[in-house]
Amino acid sequence: MSRGGRRRLLMGFFRGTLVLIAVAVLLGGVYFFTEMMQGDARPLARAVNAVPIKEIALRTDGVLDQAWIVRTLALPPKATLMDLNIDQLRDRLLADPQVKSATVSRKFPATLDVSLAERSPVALVNARIGNEAPRPYLVARDGTVYRGSGYDQTTLAALPWLDGLKLRLDGDHFEPIRGMEAVADLLATARNEAPHLYHTWKVVSLARLETDAEIHVRATNIEKVIFSARSAGDFLRQVAQLDALLDSVHAAEDQPVNEINLAVGRMIDGRIQVPVTFKDPLNVPARAPATAPSNSFLKTNRPASREL
């Protein structure tokens, strides 16, 4: 073999050896990394990221604040991102029923990213767990009952109270209240379409919701308003009927109303018929029929009732 041939042979052998070494190093690195991830991650954490966590970045659609997230997560002092168990942190957040969903992620080099979706209260209920004194609990649209953190007292004071139900415990929390979505639909309709009526509603009873599909409301000027919950899409019509009816009878002035039953209201000849019971029907002065029957009350055979 000539001198040039031997040189080419040696160079080929040298290049082949380098390729084999590179492949071996690459495979060894993959094996080492896999073993470290399957085993104890703390050595890898110290090797990759030894910087302690400097910030918890919170994003939420509700009222929970930074103090709550720090208190709830209770991170160890000088912990790094790789020291944390993300699933455990997420479970801590979801242990509070106010949190509907939570996402926890690492943002290198030293930020823990937390995103929350919170439940919003639609009503209040008085209850207690164990031997504790009774206290107000918040009720969300899906029936979840929770203590609540971070809410403004003015907001809570505007919520109606629930009655006519029995709460059941499931561990440290109450079971969800059945039928609350219908109640929430009614409250939302009144709050959005007739806020002047909604702010007078004090107590909402669920006593006949499951048996008769009725929601009973006690307002400041009416002892009982009965709504039908058979169709959530019918709440707007019933609230509109209530608004027109109260404008006609002036319930807050000279004609105190005891009960209005919108669950049996109906349309006849363009008029709305709704049974109305006054607190003192014998003292209610006779009213002449108005020219517009769709917005007036006509006397019926029962002295305690009126027809709209």
Tens digit of pLDDT for each residue in 11-51?
A: 777 777 877 888 888 887 777 767 766 655 555 545 555 79
One domain, residues 218 and 142? yes
One domain, residues 22 and 125? no
One domain, residues 73 and 182? no
Measured distance CA(10)–CA(8) in Å, rounded: 5
End-to-end alpha carbon distance in the chain: 117
Within a domain: 302: yes
Domain of residue 8 covers: 3-37
Within a domain: 151: yes
Measured distance CA(79)–CA(84) in Å, rounded: 7
One domain, residues 175 and 292? yes
- Count: domains in the chain: 3
pLDDT for the residue 270: 60
One domain, residues 154 and 289? yes
The string of DSSP letters for 5-59 reads HHHHHHHHHHHHHHHHHHHHHHHHHHHHHHHHHHS-SHHHHHHH--PBP-EEEEE
Question: Which region among 49-53, 80-84, 140-144, 214-218 has the lowest average model confidence (pLDDT)?
Answer: 49-53
Within a domain: 44: no
The residue ranking higher by pLDDT, 38 or 228, is 228
Amino acid at 94: L
Contact present, 260 and 274 (Cβ < 8 Å): yes
Q: How many CB atoms lie within 10 A of CB 53?
A: 20
One domain, residues 199 and 289? yes
Measured distance CA(129)–CA(192) in Å, rounded: 34
pTM: 0.75
The string of DSSP letters for 137-194 reads EEEETT--EE---S--HHHHHTSPEEES----EETTEEPPPTTHHHHHHHHHHHHHH-
